């Protein structure tokens, strides 16, 4: 039984990351279609000239080498060749994904306490209007900077906030 529990526990980070990705994808589809109906766009008028206001998380930036990341953040709870997972406390977790050269290509941070989560204003420099259920979603591509940035907060009394930076392939 103990072996089963440790096996399940070691898969929790992967499940959390997968759930976060699904939330991003689902939120993206709904946001894009709603914006299309309103005639708006998810990106600035000229993203090539736009400067991202959020480009790192806990000192970690896209393109850093995995050894640098581990030196800054400490030992991850789950360590791998392609990704690492940290649990800083019960309210903040992060997943860092690496390419084949061990450089950071994705940074994804999850916050389970709304009062301690990174805000949309911190990420984009302005607040984002929440939907009726309290959820918030925005994604902006920064081609000149070479990455996209998304902010996703679920609705409800215990929202999950996910902030993701990912290199544009």
- 113 against 36, higher pLDDT: 113
Q: What is the pLDDT of residues 35-61, one digit of tens each?
A: 332 333 344 445 555 567 789 999 999
Tell me the β-bridge partners of 65: 103
- If DSSP codes are grouped into helix, strand and coil, which group holds residue 54? coil
Residue pair 133/122 in contact by the 8 Å Cβ criterion? no
Q: What is the model's pLDDT at position 52?
A: 73
- If DSSP codes are grouped into helix, strand and coil, which group holds residue 123? helix
H or E, element range at 121: helix 120-124
Q: What is the model's pLDDT at position 112?
A: 97
Tell me the β-bridge partners of 86: 94
Instruction: Give yes or no for residue 30 having a pLDDT over 60.
Output: no
Residue pair 54/165 in contact by the 8 Å Cβ criterion? yes
- Please state, in angstroms and rounded to a whole number, the distance separating the CA atoms of residues 82 and 145: 23
Q: What is the model's pLDDT at position 53?
A: 76
Q: What is the model's pLDDT at position 84?
A: 98
Residue labelled with tokens 């979603």: 137
H or E, element range at 122: helix 120-124
Angle in degrees, CA 112, 78, 160, rounded to 5: 15
Q: 30: domain range?
A: 2-167
Instruction: Give yes or no for residue 62 having a pLDDT over 60.
Output: yes
**Confidence tier at 22 by pLDDT (50, 70, 90):** very low
Query: What is the pLDDT averaged over residues 141-150?
Result: 94
**Average pLDDT of the residues of the chain:** 79
Strands of 161-167's sheet in order across:
83-89, 92-98, 104-111, 161-167, 147-153, 136-142
Tokens of 34: 């709603």
- Please state, in angstroms and rounded to a whole number, the distance separating the CA atoms of residues 105 and 10: 23
Query: What is the pLDDT averaged over residues 109-122?
Result: 95
Q: What is the model's pLDDT at position 56?
A: 94
Q: Count up the domains in the chain and report the number.
A: 1
| H-assigned helices in 2-116 | 2-38, 66-73
- Please state the pTM of the whole predicted model: 0.73
């Amino acid at each position: 039984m103990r072996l089963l529990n440790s096996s399940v526990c070691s898969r929790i980070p992967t499940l959390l990351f997968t759930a976060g990705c699904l939330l991003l994808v689902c939120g993206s589809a709904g946001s894009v279609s709603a914006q299309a109906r309103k005639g708006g766009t998810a990106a600035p008028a000229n993203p090539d000239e736009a400067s991202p206001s959020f480009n790192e998380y806990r000192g970690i930036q896209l393109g850093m080498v995995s050894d640098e990341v581990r030196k800054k953040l400490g030992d991850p709870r789950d360590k791998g060749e392609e990704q690492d997972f940290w649990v800083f406390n019960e309210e903040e977790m992060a997943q860092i994904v690496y390419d084949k050269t061990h450089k950071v290509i994705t940074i994804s941070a999850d916050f389970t306490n709304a009062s301690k989560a990174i805000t949309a204003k911190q990420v984009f420099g302005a607040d984002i209007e929440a939907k009726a259920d309290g959820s918030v979603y925005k994604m902006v591509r920064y081609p000149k900077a070479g990455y996209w940035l998304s902010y996703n907060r679920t609705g409800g009394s215990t929202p999950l906030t996910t902030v993701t930076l990912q290199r544009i392939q």
